[in-house]
């Protein structure tokens, strides 16, 4: 048994001060992943600071069409919020496909963005893992890596980011607001998530004791016609092999607006900017969609067991865009 202290914070300043005071401390929100990792001895906090009493649960429509989501808003509440369903269906769909109903009722939005990778070697404390022990090696590279990344991977880590809603938020240029000992910050979601590079143990641009307070989703008229497609080995309670958050606007047969992000294939939620650039101004149709998908996946670095993801991702992109532009294809 390892000693573990627990404290409950009544306000953000108190929570930040408690965590800042101990380098082995961490925030505790819904705990749907964090508690498992503590039990498995993957995470070893000396102090957990419960933040569930903090008033960070809002889901607010912003004039102009944007959205503000408190970090402690529960996934189930966000998924059924009228403003989310009407203006950002890809967010609602990603949340509903992201976990069981029981987990959605407990898991927080901020916690979802902070969940750790689902690599089996990360959770097996007997296996070398650069995320747990930097410099020890990546067991997945020569091991079982069927579900691992083909984009953004390197010699240090090839694990995929597990979140579904983070993929939708990445497509929508969300901004993550934080508060910590150094004050408040606003991080573009593309900057919030980090590639493994030389620091695979750092998955997010958060400092110790820095607390997520809010997720801001800017207005995006294109998102009214959007979807989240998740391809997985089974239909429920399973992580994505490939997922696509897609939104598109077509005028006079040509693509005039598009948002694309991929999940299940990258070491972070992957914004498909090459595909977006390729599609703008082109006639909407399977040929253009396929060409854009091929351009995006050209930089993929598959390994023997996950090479199928390249073609699967291309087809998922084409299917998503075809569904959005051709109602008969649904």
Q: Is the pLDDT confidence value at 32 over 80?
A: yes
Tally Cβ neighbours within 10 Å of residue 84.
Answer: 21
- Model confidence at 328, in pLDDT bands (50, 70, 90)? low
Cβ-based neighbours of 152, under 8 Å, separated by 6 or more: 195, 196, 266, 267, 268, 270
Q: Judge whether 315 lies within some domain.
A: yes
> What was the pLDDT predicted at 99?
87
Q: Helical H runs in the chain?
A: 12-20, 34-39, 75-79, 82-87, 89-96, 101-106, 109-114, 120-123, 139-142, 165-171, 189-192, 273-279, 286-297, 308-325
The answer to whether the beta carbons of residues 231 and 243 sit under 8 Å apart is: yes
Q: Residue 229 sits in a domain of what CATH number?
A: 3.30.390.50
Q: Going by C-beta distance under 8 Å and a sequence separation of 6 or more, which residues neighbour residue 227?
A: 89, 90, 93, 245, 246, 247, 320, 323, 324
Q: 228: alpha, beta or left, given left = phi > 0 and alpha = psi -120 to 50?
A: beta
Q: Is residue 10 part of a domain?
A: no
What DSSP string describes 22-82? -TTEEEESS-TTHHHHHHTTS---SEEEE-TTSS---EEEETTTEEEEETT-BHHHHHT-H
Examine residue 270 and state whether it is found in any structural domain, yes or no. Answer: yes
Determine the pLDDT at residue 236: 83
Q: Give, in order, the Cα–Cα distances in Å from 14 to each of 22, 27, 76, 213.
A: 13, 12, 27, 14
pLDDT in the model for residue 121: 98
Task: Return the number of other C-beta atoms located less than 10 Å from residue 76's C-beta.
Answer: 18
Residue 159: inside a domain: no
The CA distance from 274 to 296, in Å, is 5
CA-CA distance, 287 to 269, in Å (whole number)?
25
Domain membership flag for residue 206: no
Rounded average pLDDT over 79-88: 98
Mean pLDDT to the nearest integer, 275-292? 98
**Using an 8 Å Cβ cutoff, are 59 and 81 in contact?**
yes
User: 14 falls in which pLDDT band (50, 70, 90)?
Assistant: very high
Looking at residue 242, its pLDDT comes to 98
2 vs 305 pLDDT, higher one: 305
Rounded CA-CA distance 214/101 in Å is 23
Rounded-to-integer distance, Cα 165 and Cα 133, Å: 28
Q: Does residue 183 surpass a pLDDT of 80?
A: yes
Q: Is the model's pLDDT at 107 over the cut of 90?
A: yes
| pLDDT value, residue 235 | 85
The CA distance from 180 to 209, in Å, is 6
Q: Which residue range(s) make up the domain with 270?
A: 224-329
Nearest by Cα to 96 from 193, 236, 255, 291: 236
pLDDT score of 68 more than 60: yes
Any domain includes 55? no
The total number of structural domains in the chain stands at: 1
In-domain check, residue 52: no
Give the C-alpha separation, 209 to 248, whole Å. 39
In terms of residues, how long is the chain? 330
Residue 266: name the closest of 164, 165, 110, 150 by CA: 150
Distance (Å, rounded) from C-alpha 326 to C-alpha 319? 10
Residue 302 domain flag: yes
Q: How confident is the model at residue 330 (pLDDT cuts 50, 70, 90)?
A: very low
pLDDT in tens, 294-303: 999 999 999 9
pLDDT at 289 over 90: yes
């Amino acid at each position: 048994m390892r000693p573990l202290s627990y404290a409950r914070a009544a306000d953000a300043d108190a929570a930040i001060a408690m965590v800042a005071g101990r380098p082995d401390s961490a925030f505790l929100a819904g705990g749907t992943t964090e508690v498992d990792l503590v039990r498995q001895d993957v995470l070893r906090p000396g102090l957990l600071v419960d933040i569930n009493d903090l008033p960070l649960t809002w889901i607010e429509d912003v004039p102009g069409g944007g959205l503000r989501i408190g970090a402690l808003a529960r996934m189930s509440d966000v998924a059924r919020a009228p403003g989310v369903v009407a203006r950002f269906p890809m967010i609602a769909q990603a949340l509903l496909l992201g976990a069981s109903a029981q987990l959605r009722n407990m898991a927080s939005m901020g916690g979802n963005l902070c969940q750790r990778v689902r690599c089996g070697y990360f959770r097996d404390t007997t296996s070398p893992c650069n995320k747990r022990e930097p410099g020890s090696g990546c067991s997945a590279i020569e091991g079982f890596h069927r579900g691992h990344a083909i984009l953004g991977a390197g010699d240090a880590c090839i694990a995929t980011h597990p979140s579904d809603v983070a993929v939708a938020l990445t497509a929508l240029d969300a901004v993550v607001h934080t508060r910590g000992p150094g004050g408040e910050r606003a991080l573009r979601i593309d900057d919030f998530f980090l590639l493994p590079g030389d620091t695979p143990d750092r998955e997010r641009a958060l400092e110790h004791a820095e607390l997520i307070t809010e997720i801001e989703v800017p207005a995006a008229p294109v998102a009214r016609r959007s979807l989240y497609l998740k391809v997985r080995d089974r239909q429920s309670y399973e992580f994505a092999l490939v997922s696509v958050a897609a939104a598109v606007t077509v005028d006079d047969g040509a693509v005039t607006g598009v948002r694309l992000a991929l999940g299940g294939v990258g070491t972070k939620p992957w914004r498909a900017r090459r595909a977006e650039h390729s599609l703008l101004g082109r006639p909407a149709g399977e040929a253009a969609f396929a060409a854009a998908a091929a351009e995006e996946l050209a930089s993929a670095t598959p390994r023997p067991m996950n090479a199928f993801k390249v073609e699967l991702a291309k087809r998922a992109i084409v299917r998503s865009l075809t569904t959005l532009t051709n109602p008969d294809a649904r």
